[in-house]
Every structure is written in structure tokens, then in C-alpha cells.
Amino acid sequence: MLLSSEKKTADMRSAYGDTLVELGRDDPRIVCVGGDTTDSLKTKKFGDKYPDRMFNVGIAEANLVSVAAGLSIAGKIAFASTYAAFIPGRCVDQIRNAICYPSLNVKLVVSHAGLTVGPDGASHQQIEDIASMRTIPNMRVIVPADAVAVKHLIRTIARTPGPFYLRLARPSSEVIYADNAESFLIGRGNVLEEGSDATIIACGLMVVMAIEAAMELKRKGVSCRVVDMFSIKPIDSELVVKCAKETGAIATAEEHNILGGLGGAVSEVTAETYPVPVKRVGVRDTFGESARDEEIDTLLEIYGLTATEIAKAVLEARSRNRK
Amino acid sequence: MGFNMRYLDLKRRIRDVRMWAIQGIAEAGSGHPGASFSAAEIMGTLYFRTMKHDPSNPTWEDRDYFINSKAHSAPGFYSTLAVAGYFPPEEIRTLRKLGSRLQGHPVRYSEHQKHHSVPGVEYSGGSEGIGLSVGIGIALAKKLDREKAKMNKVYVLIGDGESNEGQIWEASMAAGKFKLDNLVAILDRNRIQQDGFTEDIMPLDPTKDKWAAFNWQVFEVDGHKVEQIVDALYKAARVHDKPVMIVANTIKGNGIRHMANNPQWHGKAPPKRQTEVLLEELESECLIAPSIIAGERENYEDKIRKVEREGVDMIHLDVMDGRFVPNTTFFADTIKKLRPSTSLPFDAHLMIEKPLEKVQEYIDARCDIITVHAEACTENEFKEIQERLINAGISPGIAINPGTDMPNWLYRSLHDLDVIIVMSVNPGFAGQKFMPEVLPKMMAVNKELMEHGFRGYIEADGGIDATTLHQAYDAGARIFVAGAAVYGGGDIHGSVIQLRHKAAVALEKRLLNHSTRLNVRSDWMKARKHILIPYANELGIEEELHAIK
């Protein structure tokens, strides 16, 4: 069973922190580097359990990721974590040269990505990271949709050698996957809903909205496939092409700038392999703004990150479908 | 201070590093000679002496790590690895070319990068300011493994221009916090960065105070004196609960006089057609070794202190036993007492009978070079002495008197011979007159031995002064023992300057002649103009130099 049968919410960061503790128990090579945000990232639990293997370097992200590189050179599996605004926001160069170029075993797991950071405002709303991380050779980019996916994907990246960038959102979010779902392979997307008229390819918190949009469209008689493309790099090209061929139109949805992110990655595949209309839903190349937690839904509405927007995008893509 | 560094062999290897580096840079047409040369002694001392590593097993678990954060010193770093045995030095000629394993900035070696790197490179550098943090990561990991593995040291070379990067100071704070006493950073303090002098672009001083304030144990050395680097690294290994910073004061481009201390040569390649002349210059490094038995009878320690201040290279110790030579000077017990007074290498010249019976005393007195007389031992005795010296990390030497020919058996021991003293007086007394009749022998010895694979130094001893130095120089000597010429007159400062000046004139003359043979004389004089001006009169090139724009 892939999808959860009950409706509940869970926190991605706690899923990360708890999984890291479990990994640390089984493998002494697991270490963690934090940057004065360990409480928030829930890596503090790991530090409480394994104080020798937790290194808090303070508010110094360039140093943070480079120390992680050094740890991996000496044989450790290094998790480096803070807010997405700072990793990769403040240290793309170090990630490129110290981690990706030598293809080191460093896992950048960051939180507070996208607009849903909320009250901190645009300075902390990281919406460029998928684009910047995905263009660096050797880096793989993972955006899980819920806490269950986080749990599985953290384990997967821990046992897969080489650099990873894994992006978490701040809010507690709806759980999509069944607890025992096993289908989280790097380079593969998950088809959550079948459909024949169009496909929504989404990642992160937008996957829930994609499912909602598909339901909304179903009521209008449009059969919509929904794909959770948590593996943005390597992307599941085969699945993208299959969707293009079988459904003829694609909408993408991400909590990221529409430039260079998931929408960009999907468009690259279709444009080169099997061109079909693609409509991207995301932040439309603008900075966000502050919103209190209870105002986040409105914030997302203002910036066009809703199920309704996704449904509109599907219809628009379909209308341009020459099939 | 005699930490088993086999001084002359170390100097020779570092000389080779510079020679390979300049060939690589000239061949590539780009690269950074300045940084390669300022850090040559630092990297050489680490790889050839201090670090625990194995070129035949680069990923040996018990190895020490070297992180070259100022990675633009790549030509010097590659050459150091090559001379250490990680790959054939000839490959340096592919530097920076398409398809080469020697990328412009070194890449961490791995299966996946094996076409763009060489074994032994632990870190991909090029972006400044990152390496110290990476070193911290390795040091932290090694501390975690302490119970399982032996403690591995992590050495990180950083630059002073690079220290503009904020990340250096992030790392500095972190290393202090984690009390990483298995981490040693070495600052190549050459005071020049790409746009000019560091103190104009972004002042770093007070450098030592800054690092000390960040909770590091700080040592300061002359970064071109290997004995000081060895000494500081030895002390660094004995620091507890703190990371160590060694501030190495260096000269950018050191080794090629017109590149030295000149910001223009930060990242510029010399013209390929001048390479041979540059190699000749690198091979011609002169060492001055004052002999403390010369001059007024006074306190030896005081004499050592006086010449150390003048930047001489080593202290020549004439040991005479009253039997091999008629006079008696001092023995190992005196040397032992003098040892703590200086870090300068001790060049002990044993003019004694039966040196094999006594050599252990001089090993124990921590001499750095021990030379015995060919006339005083048989081949087998010399071989045994040589072996004991090599095992003790001491440079072995052999001396021959003016009337003695090079013994034939010596050809069988050339590989591990670091110095040959060709006496230009009959030994036994200080202050004798130079015997020019030994010059043809010196020249022949030099030529023949080189042909038989001798890679060490020829040392001229006896009557060397400002009037005779150039003759010995032209005959191939590169170490000059100066006794009366330094201590005889009373003006030690002036005497050392004069000797250096004469050595410089001899060098410039030699290089000019070489440039003429290679048809690059005017180019060479143009590149070298500011160096040649003070010697123009002695070299007889005043008009020629004046005509060069």
C-alpha cells in the first residue's frame, strides 16, 4: 500500500531527527554538523544521544559544509544541516568545490525551504536552491513530500555514496504515504494517482495540493495523473516521457521559483525527448514576504501556490495540447 | 636543531621540487611560480621529513593528511608529490594541459577523478579559504577514531591573501572550540597577493596575535629555513588541547632572484626559452658555513649567535684531534654543549683518525652533517659510517685533502653521499691561503661525480674569502666554508654581506653566459635588469644594461 489511509499531519524535521538517531545507532560513521539551528532542525536529538558525533560550528555555514567535507574525507557519513536560506544560500561555492567536485559523502539536509517559512519573510524564504543545487555536477537533489518520505529518503541517501541535497519544509504537513511505503528510489518518481488527460508532476508540500487539484479536475471530468517527483536530480526521465506520451499535457508544481526548479527539469526532458505543453506552477520569479503561521494559506494563495492554481495550469496545458 | 632531517638531502630534494615546478609552469605557459616557491620548504619538509605517509600506499589508514588550501601553489605541490615518489616527475611537463592528470588546481584523487588527479591529493582546492575547514573535519573524524587508529595529524597550508576570506576565521574559531591538537596550520606569509602587497590590499597584521586570540598555539619561523620548520613541527606535535598555527615568513618567488618579492610574478609563467637559465639558477643555490675556530679565541656560542643574525646557512665545526692533523680544536662534548644555542644546522668536519670509532659521539651530539676524511678510512669503514649516519638522519660527507685523489671506491657510495669537501688548504690550521691548484680537481670531481649520479653538494673549505669564492664557485662548489673571512676582521656583518655579494656576482655571470649560449641574453637581461644593476660594474655590462629599456 503506497498511500496513507488516514488523514493526519506530521513534521518532516522530526522525521529527519528521529531517523538520524536510528541511523547513528546502527552505523558509527554517521556524524552531524549543525549551525546554531540544531534544536530547530531536530538534529539536537542526535547530538544528545551521540555527543561525540555532533559538531555545532555556530552561525558559519561556509565552515559548516566544509567541515562536513573533511569528515567525509576521513570516512564519515556527514549530515550537514541548517536552514535552506543558509545552506545552500551562503555557501554554494563550498558545496561545489569542497563537496561536489570530489564527490564526497556529504548529505546536506536543510529545512525551512520555500515560502512556508512564514513570518521570517523573504530573506529566509529560500526559493532558488533547487535550481542552484541541480546544476552542480555530482549533486543529487531530493524534495520529499511528507514525513514518511523523509524517513525513507534519509535512510536511502545515508546508504548511497556521494553528495545529496535534501530539502525539508518548516510546517507540519499532511501525511500522504502509508507508513510502510517502500517506494523511494533515487531517480524514480511515484505515481500517486492514475489519469489519462494530463499529468501533474509535483514535489514537496505541493504534492498534497496536486492530489487536491486532481480531485477537483476529476469533478470536471478531467482525468489527471499525479506524480510525486521527489528525485529532482536525477529526474525520472522515463516516467516524464511516459506521462507526456500517455497524457499529452503536464503541469508542474513546486514551492520554488518557476525558473530552474522542478518545472525547469521536467521541461528539459520533454523539450528534448517528447515535447508536450508544460505549465509551471511556482513562485513567479519574485521575492516572498512575511506571513504569520495562520496566514500561510493566504500567502500561498497570493503567490499562486494552490490546488486551484495547479488545476488552472492543467487546463491551460491541456488547451495547448495539439494531440 | 638536528631532528634527523638529513639536512643536505632535504635541501637537495626541495631544490629538485623548484626545478620541476618551473619546468611545468614554463611548459604550461601559466601557473603560479610565486606561491610554489614561497611554500617549497614548507611542503618539502612535511613530505620529505615530518609527515607519516607512504607513496606506495596513498590511502594508508595511519597516514597524516596534508590539505593544500592555497591550491594555486599547485606546481610546487605536484612537484613535491612527484619527488616524494607519488608519480614520475616527468609528468609535471603536462601541467595544466588538456588531458593531463595535473589540473590547474589539484583535485582530490578518487576512482572517479583518476584522469584528473594523482594519488596523494586529498583535497580539491582552487576556491580560497576552504581548506582549513576541511582540515578541521578530518581532524574531528580522526579524534573520533582515536581508540581504534593511531593519532593522525592534519597539516593545512594556507596563504596570507587567502586569509582575507571570512571562512578562514570561521574555521579558526571552530578549531579553537574543538581543541584540535591534531591540527597544524601553516601560514605561507609571503606578504604578496594578486593585486599587490597584503598589507595594502587587506592588512593581516598583527597576524600572530590574531591567531593567538582565536585560541591557537602560535609559532613563527623563517619559512625558507628547513631546520626552523622541522623544529616548529616537532614542537607542534607536543602541544595539547590547542590547534597549532605556524606563521612561516616567506618570500614569494624565492629561488629565482628576479621573481622574488615581486607581485608581478604571482601568477605568471616565465618564457619557455629561459627555462634552462632558471634551472641553472635554482641549481646554483649557495650555502655559507662560517667556521667558528677562526679569528680571536672567544666564546663559540657568541660567535654562532653573531653569524646567525647575519642569516648564514649553517655552522661549520672543524674537529681536529692532534693526530690526523697537527692541531687540536674541540670534540663532541663541546658540540653537544653548543647544540641548544642555535637551530642552524651543524656541519661537522671530522679531521680525526679512526672516525668509525668516534662517529657515534658526533651523532649523539646531534650534528646535521658529518664529514670524515677519505684519508682516514677504508671503503668498508666509510660505508659503515655512511649507513649509521643515514639511519640517524644525518647527511654523510667525505673530505679529501689537496694532495689526495678521489678514491675509486667512492663511486660505489655516491647514491647516499650528501657532500664532498674538496680541501683547498692542507687541513690543520685556520687562516691558511687558498690553493688555486685544487680548482682543476674540484672541477673534475664535480663533473665526474655528476656523471656517476652524485646529487649532493661540493663544499669548498680552506682560504675561501671575497677574493677566492668565485673561483671555487666556478669550479662547482656550492657550500663555502668561511673562517677568517668572516671572523678575521671584526666586521662580521660586512664580511657576510661581501661573501654573499661575491657569490651573487659569480651566479649572475654564470647565468649571463648561459643566456648568451641559449641566444636569450637580451631577454634575460631585460627580465633581470633590476637585479643586475648593482653588479653591472663588476660584470662589465654597464653600457649593455643601460641600453635595455
Tell me the domains of chain A and their CATH numbers.
Answer: 11-174 (3.40.50.970), 190-318 (3.40.50.920)
Find where cell 524514480 sits.
A188
pLDDT on residue B1: 45
Whether residue B500 lies inside any domain: the answer is no
pTM: 0.95
Longest Cα pair distance anywhere in chain A, in angstroms?
61
Residues B48 and B156 in one domain: yes
Residues B192 and B255 in one domain: yes
CB contact under 8 A, B141 and A53: no
Q: Tell me, what amino acid is at A256?
A: H
The last residue of one of the domains, among B280, B299, B327, is B280
Higher pLDDT, B151 or B182: B182
pLDDT on residue B431: 77
Q: pLDDT (tens digit, 9 = 90+) per residue, A216-256?
A: 999 999 999 999 999 999 999 999 999 999 999 999 999 99
Residues B359 and B256 in one domain: no
Count other C-beta atoms under 10 Å from residue A290's C-beta.
15
Residues B216 and B298 in one domain: no
Tell me how close the Cα of B33 comes to any Cα of chain A, in angstroms.
23
Whether residue B507 lies inside any domain: the answer is no
* Rounded Cα gap, residues B21 and B43, in angstroms: 13
pLDDT above 70 covers a percentage of chain A that reads 99
Structurally, chain B folds into a number of domains equal to: 3
Query: Which pLDDT band holds residue A322 (cuts at 50, 70, 90)?
Result: low
Spell out which residues of chain A touch residue B138, defining contact as CB-CB under 8 Å.
Answer: 70-71, 73-74
DSSP state of B153: P
Query: Which pLDDT band holds residue A323 (cuts at 50, 70, 90)?
Result: low
Residues B328 and B252 in one domain: no
* Rounded Cα gap, residues A176 and A184, in angstroms: 13
Q: Does B205 touch chain A (CB under 8 A)?
A: no
Q: Above 90 in pLDDT, residue B31?
A: no
pLDDT on residue B3: 61
Count other C-beta atoms under 10 Å from residue B465's C-beta.
20
Residues B205 and B67 in one domain: yes
Q: pLDDT (tens digit, 9 = 90+) per residue, B106-145?
A: 999 998 889 999 999 999 999 999 999 999 999 999 999 8
B409 Cβ partners below 8 Å, 6+ apart? B379, B382
Q: Tell me, what amino acid is at A280?
A: R
- The helix or strand, by DSSP H or E, that contains position B132, with its residue range, turns out to be helix B131-144
Residues B145 and B248 in one domain: yes
**What radius of gyration do chain B's Cα atoms show?**
24
pLDDT on residue A180: 83
Whether residue B443 lies inside any domain: the answer is yes
The whole-number average pLDDT for the span B430-450 is 89
* Residue A35: closest CA among A71, A68, A64: A64
Residues B325 and B270 in one domain: no
* Rounded Cα gap, residues B285 and B225, in angstroms: 13
Q: Above 70 in pLDDT, residue B491?
A: yes
* Residue B180: closest CA among B92, B241, B271: B241
pLDDT above 90 covers a percentage of chain B that reads 88
Q: How many CB pairs under 8 A join A and B?
A: 112
Q: For residue A80, what is the nearest residue in chain B, using CA coordinates?
A: B137
Residues B190 and B301 in one domain: no
pLDDT on residue B295: 81
A268 catalytic per annotation: no
What pairs with residue B505 in β-bridges? none
* Rounded Cα gap, residues B222 and B247, in angstroms: 8
Query: Which pLDDT band holds residue B59 (cuts at 50, 70, 90)?
Result: very high
Q: pLDDT (tens digit, 9 = 90+) per residue, A78-112?
A: 999 999 999 999 999 999 999 999 999 999 999 99
Range of the domain at B523: 518-547
pLDDT on residue B240: 94
Q: Does A279 touch chain B (CB under 8 A)?
A: no
The whole-number average pLDDT for the span B344-361 is 97
Q: For residue B149, what is the nearest residue in chain A, using CA coordinates?
A: A74
pLDDT on residue B456: 94
Q: DSSP for A187-236?
A: T--EEEE--SSEEEEE-TTHHHHHHHHHHHHHHTT--EEEEE--EEES--
The last residue of one of the domains, among B232, B250, B280, is B280
B359 near B242, Cβ under 8 Å?
Answer: no
Spell out which residues of chain A touch residue B134, defining contact as CB-CB under 8 Å.
Answer: 66-67, 69-70, 73, 98
The whole-number average pLDDT for the span B368-385 is 97
Q: Does A161 touch chain B (CB under 8 A)?
A: no
Q: What nine digits make up the cell of B155?
A: 597539516
Residues B242 and B339 in one domain: no
Residues B114 and B234 in one domain: yes
Q: pLDDT (tens digit, 9 = 90+) per residue, B196-232?
A: 999 999 999 999 999 999 999 999 999 999 999 999 9
Cα A114 to Cα A204, A233, A303, B261: the distances in Å are 10, 18, 11, 51
The whole-number average pLDDT for the span A265-291 is 97
Three-state DSSP class for residue A318 = helix
Query: How far is residue B237 CA from its own chain's centroid?
Result: 22
Query: How far is residue B117 CA from its own chain's centroid?
Result: 27
Spell out which residues of chain A touch residue B141, defining contact as CB-CB under 8 Å.
Answer: 31, 70-71, 73-76
Q: Above 70 in pLDDT, residue B2?
A: no
pLDDT on residue B150: 60
State the alpha helices, DSSP H only, in B189-286.
Answer: 198-201, 207-213, 226-236, 275-283
Q: pLDDT (tens digit, 9 = 90+) per residue, B506-538?
A: 999 999 999 999 999 999 999 999 999 999 999
* Residue B524: closest CA among B507, B501, B537: B507
Nearest CB to B130 within list A31, A78, A97? A97
User: Is the bond leading into B206 cis (omega within 30 degrees of zero)?
Assistant: yes
Residues B79 and B153 in one domain: yes
B92 near B99, Cβ under 8 Å?
Answer: no
pLDDT on residue B147: 64
Nearest CB to B134 within list A33, A66, A103? A66
* Residue A315: closest CA among A271, A281, A288: A281
pLDDT on residue B427: 87
Count other C-beta atoms under 10 Å from residue B16's C-beta.
19
- Triad A239, A240, A246: Cα angle to 5°: 85
What pairs with residue B99 in β-bridges? none
